[in-house]
Structure 1
Amino acid sequence: MNYTQVKQCINEIGRDTLEDLLNCPGEEVIESAFECDIPLSNIEEAYEGEHPSDEIFVENLLCECGEVPNLPHYVYVDWERTAKDVMMDYTESNGHYFRI
């Protein structure tokens, strides 16, 4: 984080809250949130984790919330297409995903 970003954080959420955010989820997540225009006060609520691709993020997201039934081995999900649709409600920077 650069000086301007740190100053903005302190003004927006306070020094103690900034220290908490830097400890968990960490500086890289905060920088990604800045790049995605996520308000600092919403980082913890909006953050969905780190994933290597949109497709893997969406597959994990939908499987975790029970939206993908136990399908037979011969049924395939087009995760690329599904990710394009689901990503309308999410944003990503450096592998960090946020709900918008």
Structure 2
Amino acid sequence: MTNLQNCLDSCSIYVGTYQKYNNGSLYCKWLNLSDYSDYDELLTAMYELHSDESEPEFMFQDYEHCSFFEKLGLIGESYISKEIYEIAEQINDSSYDIEVFESYVDCVGKMDFSSVCDGVMNYYVGEYSDDETFAQYMLEESIPESLPNFIYIDWEATARNLMYDYYSSDGYYFRA
């Protein structure tokens, strides 16, 4: 399995055409993006699938596991960006899973991929089960080992205050 397949492995599109749809036909086929090495190869497969039309206008009647690409505007009902394979390759070449990139977009909003990539590289802190665990991890080194055992730390309140300077989504944490 190549790196490119890792990111795109679960991304599939259900490719039909507007002409077939308008004529009452739902003839389509699921295409897994990882089965193609690049956008041009995918496009060739779509043209071959609908070779009975002279100029097919593709309609993606459904797509699965492409929410990150959808959030970036790389895929929609009648559009798939040429950049989708390049972006998938950049994600696979990074040391982060696609979920980290998706969580960053959830935290800060839609932006171009270059900005998302920069944000992940510069602001990603890690993955934690909850805010309290994150707060404990962040502050453990600054708490002296000789702290008397009668001192109680309210981790919930500490986490609430700490989160003013951080974002989180699905367990992934980023500096604000």
TM-score range for the pair, normalised by the shorter chain length: 0.7 to 0.9
Over 3 Å counting, the alpha-carbon distance change for 1:4 and 1:32 in structure 2 is closer
Q: What is the identity, as a one-letter code, of the residue corresponding to 1:67?
A: S
In 1, the alpha carbon distance for the partners of 2:69 and 2:106 equals 13
Q: Is the CA contact (8 Å cut-off) linking 2:103 and 2:170 kept in structure 1?
A: yes
Q: What is the identity, as a one-letter code, of the residue corresponding to 2:89?
A: E
Gaps of 5+ in 1: none
Cα RMSD for the two superposed structures: 2.6
Matches within 5 A, 1:7-18: 7=74, 10=83, 15=86
Which residue among 62, 83, 86 is the counterpart of 2:159? 83
Alignment partner of 1:69 is 2:144: yes
Alignment partner of 1:51 is 2:128: yes
| Structure 2 equivalent of residue 32 of structure 1 | 103
In 2, the alpha carbon distance for the partners of 1:30 and 1:52 equals 18
Larger relative contact order, structure 1 or 2 (CA cutoff 8 Å, min sep 6): 1
| Structure 2 equivalent of residue 19 of structure 1 | 89
Q: Is the CA contact (8 Å cut-off) linking 2:126 and 2:172 kept in structure 1?
A: yes
Q: Is the CA contact (8 Å cut-off) linking 2:166 and 2:175 kept in structure 1?
A: yes
Identity rate of aligned residues, in percent?
32
Over 3 Å counting, the alpha-carbon distance change for 1:4 and 1:42 in structure 2 is closer
Task: Provide the secondary structure at the position in 2 that maps to 1:49.
Answer: strand
Gaps of 5+ in 2: 1-67, 75-80, 110-114
More strand, by proportion? 2
